[in-house]
Amino acid sequence: MNAIRFILCALLLAASGLAQSCISLKSSYQPTVYYRLQQKSTSIQTTDTLPGTLYIRSFTTNEEYNNDHIVYFNDNVRQVDFYVYHRWLTEVPDMITDFIANRYIEKNIFRNGVAQSGSALLPDYILEGKVLEMIADNGNSNPGAVTMKIQIALINIEPMEIERPVILQRVYEASVKRADGSAASIPAAYSEALADIADRMLVDIAKAVRYHHANTQKGSR
């Protein structure tokens, strides 16, 4: 009888411990918050329509940004890390490519449109890009700032021509302060930084395309 009572007490204690464990796990659970970039108002004046079609090839990144992590640099301990419960909705290369493509599509600047992967449009120009840096500073030297650096190349495509000349190659950088030191303030700052870079890129792309088109027209006469 004592043995049965002992077994029942042990089972009750085990069940109680399991319930408390479940309650503890439930109370300590932290959901992951996902973010995306938002388009910002343009800082450039409307430009004339450019000839041809622009194809935006999927951007690449340095290895540490080739994921959905929001990376930050802790200046206090001189260490790069990423947030566990704050992430991008999509991986960085796709997010950057879509942001720039959508911005250029809305501007309707290329006469025959802006194309991405899977499009049947034949390009006259190909835009390639690589994200060299995309990091938030959580330290004391520049508190609450995000920095973005992107390298691009604009390639001309001529029918029946083997050579594909690069008519523009440049690195763009932007740094924007966040509203506060929280992880939730990072996406808005990145949205401003990328909008600024994309607009400056477009100004240079327009100049390069016009210059190349004018020289091509002269050479064909």
Q: What is the pLDDT of residues 158-208, one digit of tens each?
A: 866 677 899 999 999 999 999 988 899 999 999 999 999 999 999 999 999
Please report whether residue 25 resides in a domain. no
Model's pTM, two decimal places? 0.82
Strands 125-137 and 145-156, bridge-based pairing: antiparallel
Pairwise CA distance, residues 107 & 45, whole Å? 11
Q: Cα separations (Å) of 153 from 77, 93, 140, 170?
A: 36, 16, 35, 7
CATH of the domain at 136: 3.40.50.10610
Please report whether residue 97 resides in a domain. yes
The pLDDT value given to residue 139:
58
Please report whether residue 26 resides in a domain. no
Region 46-75 average pLDDT: 90
Percent above pLDDT 90 for the chain:
59
Q: For residue 150, which of 208, 190, 90 has the smallest C-alpha distance? A: 190
Could you give the number of structural domains in the chain? 1
Please report whether residue 155 resides in a domain. yes
Please report whether residue 49 resides in a domain. yes
Please report whether residue 1 resides in a domain. no
Region 111-140 average pLDDT: 88
Please report whether residue 19 resides in a domain. no
160: left (phi over 0), alpha (psi -120 to 50) or beta: left
The pLDDT value given to residue 23:
46
Please report whether residue 14 resides in a domain. no
The pLDDT value given to residue 87:
96
The pLDDT value given to residue 113:
92
Expressed as residue numbers, the domain containing 214 is: 31-219
Q: Which of 57-71, 116-130, 166-180, 199-213 has the lowest mean pLDDT?
A: 116-130
